[in-house]
Chain A
Amino acid sequence: MKILVAVKRVVDYAVKIRLKPDKSGVETSNVKMSMNPFCEIALEEALRIKESGRASEVVAVSVGQAQCTDTLRTGLAMGADRAIHVEYPGTLYPLSVAKIFKALVDAERPALLLLGKQAIDDDCNQTGQMIAGLLKWPQATFASKVVLDEGNKVATVDREVDGGLETLSLDLPAVITTDLRLNQPRYATLPNIMKAKSKVIKKLTPLDLNVEIRSDLEVVQVTEPPKRQAGVILSSVDQLIDRLKNESRVI
């Protein structure tokens, strides 16, 4: 069974975000970039499935600018067998990425597609769902536990939902997006970093996959949230209701 894992290159989670002076977005030059934490968890799960003998190959895929190869190399150092980089220098939105993945899945025919539930830069939480929709595959998002049956035909997935845990049974092939408590990703140790040097990163463009990148979305402006104002102690409930109604206009 082949597993495809989507990994995204994002600003490192520990970095304090700064805005570009022209407010067109977040500053990314000279800033530490890393693999999206949820993508690390997805890749770790794929590697564990492979180590248990259930999968024959784990392929890491990233879509974006040239430096995505750094993220893919990390993925290879963690243990992925090979990688695919779909190079596109511009801005990408979930639907475009989903279309690219549909084309890749049609070509590679994996039995399982794993993604992080969302990327920590845009927090969209859409790509996995959209891919499943385009492929007409079953999906389980926010996975906190994944168990495959004997014949690799059915995946039983625990999902973290608002009310608690929901268990779904999916027929493979399927899309699963991972949540925080699924596993603890491994470190890339030096011997594996060395082994990764000989692993292949295949380069493709959206054109190779017959996908046209266009977006119905345009980022107009990115600003910081307003500075937190000091609190006020009110003297009565009536005053509170008045403030909520007439000042904050929330009731």
Chain B
Amino acid sequence: MQRLFALTSSLSRRTRSSAAFSTSLLFDNTQKQFKESVAQFAEENIAPHAAEIDRSNYLPKDVNLWKLMGDFNLHGITAPEEYGGLGLGYIYHCIAMEEISRASGSVGLSYGAHSNLCINQLVRNGTPAQKQKYLPKLISGEHVGALAMSEPNAGSDVVSMKCKADRAKGGYILNGNKMWCTNGPVAETLVVYAKTDMTAHSKGITAFIIEKDMPGFSTAQKLDKLGMRGSDTCELVFENCFVPEKNVLGQEGKGVYVMMSGLDLERLVLAGGPLGIMQACLDVVLPYVKQREQFGRPIGEFQFIQGKIADMYTSLQSSRSYVYSVARDCDSGIINPKDCAGVILCAAERATQVALQAIQCLGGNGYVNEYPTGRFLRDAKLYEIGAGTSEIRRMIIGRELFKEQ
């Protein structure tokens, strides 16, 4: 175990891979500049906290990461400028997601839920009044956003949700539970789906904007998760929670369109998460296999290791190409559900494998929590489940391909 100490101290310094992975065909100059800028910001402001966030299952108390990211204009990338956003497209949003996740998977996931699941849904479906009321504080980072559709008994089968919204004077009364809500414990603004008509199946779903202080709304225990620790997740509880008419997002009974179209873009942007994790794996593994010597040579000279890093590299680059080409299409208005599902299916499964290989390349050290590779694996695994499990994604893609025949 002698080697561990020498390598720990050098690994705790900057060990970012110096290889500038060729992405010249994917980005124009401005996008490259943005990528470098966010990478630097994330490396200096988020990465130093990553290990402690994972260990403690909390975001840092001494620095407000939400506000910092807001100051860096990261939250409202796809939101209109009049609310403080940048009015840019999904390529930029995916770049931000990738670089933040590279620094910390947990912060990346929370960022994705806030900026895409909540903010972007409000942007796409909100009335001007709703946008004016909620977006500015969400975009500045003063407020945190969340979205809740899944329930304890409605995950993949989300349309079978049981959370009820009964018509009342001036609005609706919500009763029920939501599960696995990212940012739930800290969010001020939440997009929540509930059934206004329990008999109408998918056509009975309505989307609502919930405020943290609404009487009858509360959050239950913060979940103790395998990975993405620090990205606070919890159960939401609605007990006769009154929601005013003006907080309906979209139209009554049309919630499923808000949900399903949102899911396509959610999958695209979240696909940046596994890309960042794969990059982080390479950032750790490449310097390690140069420094670590066995049998008198750096282990990176042995073919088995070279095979592994080659696989890791090609997994990252191919996933990256897929994600950003689909992002480019979405920016042009061509949103194809099977490709949106495809990019996260591809990136997430590759990321888990890359993280496993990263642990393997580090050998015994990979198994020790002082090294980040274990966290990379635990964080990567989430992306095979959240935003639609890999199984659901496969079903969506296969079904579409079959229909198109």
**Chain A: residues with CB nearer than 8 A to chain B?**
12, 14-16, 30-32, 70, 73-74, 77, 187-191, 193-194, 197
Asked if B92 and A190 sit within 8 Å, CB to CB, the answer is yes
21 inter-chain pairs at a CB distance below 8 angstroms, sorted by A residue, are A12-B18, A14-B18, A16-B18, A16-B287, A30-B19, A32-B20, A70-B29, A73-B29, A74-B33, A77-B37, A187-B40, A187-B41, A190-B72, A190-B73, A190-B88, A190-B92, A191-B73, A193-B30, A193-B33, A193-B37, A194-B30
B403 CB within 8 Å of chain A = no
Asked if B40 and A77 sit within 8 Å, CB to CB, the answer is no
Q: Which residues of A contact B16 (CB under 8 A)?
A: 14
Tell me the minimal C-beta distance from A175 to chain B in angstroms: 29
Q: Which residues of B contact A188 (CB under 8 A)?
A: 33, 37
Given A14-B14, A190-B73, are A73 and B33 also a contact pair (CB < 8 Å)? Answer: yes
Asked if B30 and A189 sit within 8 Å, CB to CB, the answer is no
B86 CB within 8 Å of chain A = yes
B77 CB within 8 Å of chain A = yes
Extra contacts, 6 of them, besides A32-B20, A193-B33 (Cβ < 8 A), are A12-B18, A16-B18, A32-B18, A189-B37, A189-B72, A191-B86
CA of A162 to CA of B77, assembled, Å: 47
Q: Identify which of B18, B19, B20, B34 contacts A190 (C-beta below 8 A).
A: B34
Asked if B33 and A77 sit within 8 Å, CB to CB, the answer is yes
Chain B residue with Cβ nearest A74: B33
**Chain B: residues with CB nearer than 8 A to chain A?**
14, 16, 18-20, 29-30, 33-34, 37, 40-41, 72-74, 77, 86, 88, 92, 287
Tell me the minimal C-beta distance from A44 to chain B in angstroms: 14
Chain A residue with Cβ nearest B32: A70
Q: Which residues of A contact B86 (CB under 8 A)?
A: 190-191, 194
Q: Which residues of B contact A14 (CB under 8 A)?
A: 14, 16, 18
CA of A224 to CA of B115, assembled, Å: 48
Asked if A193 and B18 sit within 8 Å, CB to CB, the answer is no
CA of A14 to CA of B39, assembled, Å: 13
CA of A22 to CA of B263, assembled, Å: 54
Chain A residue with Cβ nearest B14: A14
Tell me the minimal C-beta distance from B288 to chain A in angstroms: 13
Asked if B37 and A190 sit within 8 Å, CB to CB, the answer is yes
Tell me the minimal C-beta distance from A36 to chain B in angstroms: 15
Q: Sorted from nearest, which 5 A-B pairs have the closest CB atoms?
A: A15-B18, A188-B37, A32-B20, A14-B14, A193-B33
Asked if A187 and B20 sit within 8 Å, CB to CB, the answer is no
CA of A188 to CA of B35, assembled, Å: 11
Chain A residue with Cβ nearest B20: A32
Asked if B41 and A190 sit within 8 Å, CB to CB, the answer is no
Q: Identify which of A16, A30, A73, A77 contacts B20 (C-beta below 8 A).
A: A30
CA of A30 to CA of B74, assembled, Å: 29
Chain A residue with Cβ nearest B43: A14
Asked if B18 and A31 sit within 8 Å, CB to CB, the answer is yes
Tell me the minimal C-beta distance from A83 to chain B in angstroms: 14
CA of A112 to CA of B330, assembled, Å: 47
Chain B residue with Cβ nearest A12: B18
Chain B residue with Cβ nearest A34: B36
Q: Which residues of A contact B37 (CB under 8 A)?
A: 77, 187-190, 193
Q: Which residues of A contact B33 (CB under 8 A)?
A: 70, 73-74, 77, 188, 193
Q: Which residues of B contact A194 (CB under 8 A)?
A: 30, 86, 88
CA of A74 to CA of B35, assembled, Å: 12
CA of A188 to CA of B18, assembled, Å: 21
CA of A73 to CA of B72, assembled, Å: 18
Q: Which residues of B contact A190 (CB under 8 A)?
A: 34, 37, 72-74, 77, 86, 88, 92
